[in-house]
């Protein structure tokens, strides 16, 4: 068979790839179906995420209530233990020859120092709960924030 005959025979044979190609209308239909399926999957994922967040918040709420109950128990027993410890310390100081006034004053001063330390640490942690970094970022985006806060921030940046 000559080369020209082989080319003519190849031209007459139908192209298998051309036969498998869908029409333009069918392509648009498939494209639309795929878009709807994608949107449906996205909506289902959003619903599942919302259910997960709601369940997680319910669990956190229940855990917070239980934690507060146990915190109350701990404070009650901790307070009574502290009173017993201070009573024992007063007795020991009495035994060492201190007067009642001196031993009670010493234990009261020790209790006040521990109370002041606890209050100072609590105030430090309350300061951390103000979400200052988040507020600054939201203010940069123009959401929330007062004009006074922006001026204070500008002054702080100028000092650095």
pLDDT given at position 98:
96
- Hey, which bits of 3-155 come out as E strands? none
Q: How far is residue 100's CA from residue 93's CA, in Å, rounded to a whole number? A: 9
pLDDT score, position 147: 55
pLDDT in the model for residue 140: 83
Q: Tell me what pLDDT residue 133 has.
A: 77
Given a cut of 50, the residues of the chain with pLDDT beneath it are none
**CA distance linking residue 139 with residue 131, whole number of Å:** 12
Q: Cα 29 vs. chain centroid, distance in angstroms? A: 43
pLDDT at residue 145, as a whole number: 63
What pLDDT was estimated at residue 121? 93
């Amino acid at each position: 068979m000559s080369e020209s005959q082989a080319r003519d025979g190849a031209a007459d044979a139908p192209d298998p790839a051309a036969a498998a190609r869908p029409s333009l209308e069918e392509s648009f239909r498939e494209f639309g179906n795929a878009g709807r399926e994608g949107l449906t999957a996205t909506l289902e994922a959003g619903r599942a995420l919302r259910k997960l967040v709601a369940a997680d918040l319910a669990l956190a709420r229940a855990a917070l209530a239980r934690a507060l109950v146990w915190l109350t128990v701990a404070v009650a027993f901790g307070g009574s233990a502290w009173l017993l410890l201070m009573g024992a310390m007063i007795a020991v100081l009495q035994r060492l020859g201190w007067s009642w006034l001196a031993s009670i004053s010493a234990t009261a001063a020790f209790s006040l120092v521990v109370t002041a330390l606890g209050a100072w640490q609590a105030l430090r942690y309350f300061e951390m709960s103000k979400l200052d970094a988040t507020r600054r970022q939201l203010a940069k985006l123009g959401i929330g924030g007062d004009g006074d806060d922006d001026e204070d921030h500008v002054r702080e940046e100028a000092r650095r």
